[in-house]
Amino acid sequence: MNESSIDRLLEIMRKLRAPDGCPWDREQTLDSLKSNLIEETYEVIDAIEGGDRAELCGELGDLLLQVVFQAQICEEAGSFKFDDVVNGIADKLIRRHPHVFGDVQANTSGEVLRNWEKIKKTEKSAETPRSLVEGIPRHLPALAKAHLVQKRVARAGFEWDEIGGVVDKLDEELAEVKEAMEQKDAAAIREELGDLMFSVVNLSRYLGHEPEELLNENITKFMRRFQSLESRLHDEGREIEKCSLGELDAVWNAVKAAEKQIRSKETL
């Protein structure tokens, strides 16, 4: 990105928000743009996963527009300018990378992350260090939020020494869910299910996986298999509502077996 290209974008945004600009753009507020920001972020992720770099380029532009749009609204209100956003993040990057821009030593990514967290804790106030779990976005999806919380505390050493402890905790939480179910305690069931899900996220994180991605992949797999089940029933002239659970389970297993056979051929 060169200076002239960003200046061009900023000038276009100013024109759109001007009295003689676009009625829709002039009506937008920080609140009205929140859903757009979320949508554009997910579209960037879809483009990354799709592997189409031209598509990614376009989606990153759409995401950048949201930053420019909100900065322009704030400039009009006298809060800050786009330059303040850019300079703020530039200063933060320098401040949080003393191993690059200063004389601090950090030879591994783990050391970098530990230094990063120490710096973040003291940025808000020199007298009152921040909590490691402060600043977690409220609107982050629950799986991603749990994963982020666990990552942060793990960097500070609040972590199992080996995976056996993670698995044992998962078993413990599952046993507590079963106990709550036996006692028919609705409040306890709710709480213990939450503990169990949190432990599943922790196991996923410990094994190096993003739980949000894993669950999305599993949902996609389930939907694909269910659609195959529906297609098979349609071809056989059967209606899903009129099939017994045993019949549906048999078709489901056939779909899974067919997928496994296809995967086996692909690996040959």
Give pLDDT, residue 170.
97
Q: Quick one: DSSP state of residue 102?
A: S
Q: Hey, what amino acid is at 166?
A: V
Average pLDDT rounded to a whole number, residues 112-117: 81
- Cβ atoms of 136 and 149 within 8 Å: the answer is yes
Task: Please spell the DSSP secondary structure of 184-247, one letter per residue.
Answer: T-HHHHHHHHHHHHHHHHHHHHHTT--HHHHHHHHHHHHHHHHHHHHHHHHHTT--GGGS-HHH
Listed range (18-22, 128-132, 156-160, 240-244) with the worst mean pLDDT: 128-132
Cα separation, 156 vs 150, in Å, equals 10
Distances (CA, A) of 78 to 8, 81, 157, 267: 21, 8, 43, 61
Residue whose structure tokens are 């300079």: 87
- Cβ atoms of 69 and 33 within 8 Å: the answer is yes
Over the stretch 145-160, which tens digit does the pLDDT of each residue have? 999 999 989 988 899 9
Q: Is 209 left (phi over 0), alpha (psi -120 to 50) or beta?
A: beta
pTM of the model: 0.69
CA–CA–CA angle 85, 115, 110 (5° rounding):
115
Task: Please spell the DSSP secondary structure of 45-92, one letter per residue.
Answer: HHHHHHT-HHHHHHHHHHHHHHHHHHHHHHHHTTS--HHHHHHHHHHH
In this structure, the number of other CB atoms found within 10 A of the CB of residue 61 comes to 12
Give pLDDT, residue 126.
52
Q: Name all domains of the chain by residue range, CATH numbers in brackets.
A: 3-93 (1.10.287.1080), 96-123 (no CATH), 142-209 (1.10.287.1080), 212-266 (no CATH)
Give pLDDT, residue 118.
78
Over the stretch 173-229, which tens digit does the pLDDT of each residue have? 999 999 999 999 999 999 999 999 999 999 999 999 999 999 999 999 999 999 999
Q: Identify the band that residue 104 occupies on the pLDDT scale cut at 50, 70 and 90.
A: confident
